[in-house]
Amino acid sequence: KQEVTQIPAALSVPEGENLVLNCSFTDSAIYNLQWFRQDPGKGLTSLLLIQSSQREQTSGRLNASLDKSSGRSTLYIAASQPGDSATYLCAVNNNAGNMLTFGGGTRLMVKP
């Protein structure tokens, strides 16, 4: 059974800092991995999608890496801003492609 863990559970940083969010998964037989952002009480916004054959994806100030063999992914946020404050969730898509397994999320607070 796939298990996904995100560390840290919460993070508070001053504006402008670069930061790294971690995601680990127990079963490396994944199809792809997706990072999402969730604002309080809202749905999920997809940030980055990494296929199992890829090592990283970039979008603006966000960069996600994937090391499938070690069961790890990181989300790097450059020059953080207060608007980045949200919960960040990683989810792995198993090889059957019919479900996402989510981590518990990292709650990020960026202080002005």
Partner 1 sequence: ETGVTQSPTHLIKTRGQQVTLRCSSQSGHNTVSWYQQALGQGPQFIFQYYREEENGRGNFPPRFSGLQFPNYSSELNVNALELDDSALYLCASSLVMETGYTFGSGTRLTVV
Residue 15 burial (CB count, 10 A):
13
Least separation in angstroms between CB 90 and partner 1:
9
Give the nearer residue to partner 1 in terms of CB position, either 42 or 111: 42
**Contact (CB, 8 A) for 86 and 75:** no
Q: Which residues, 6+ apart, have CB-to-CB distance to 42 below 8 Å?
A: none
Give the nearer residue to partner 1 in terms of CB position, either 38 or 74: 38
Give me the residues that bind partner 1 (CB under 8 A), please: 4, 6, 31-32, 34, 36, 41-46, 49, 51, 89, 91, 93, 96-105
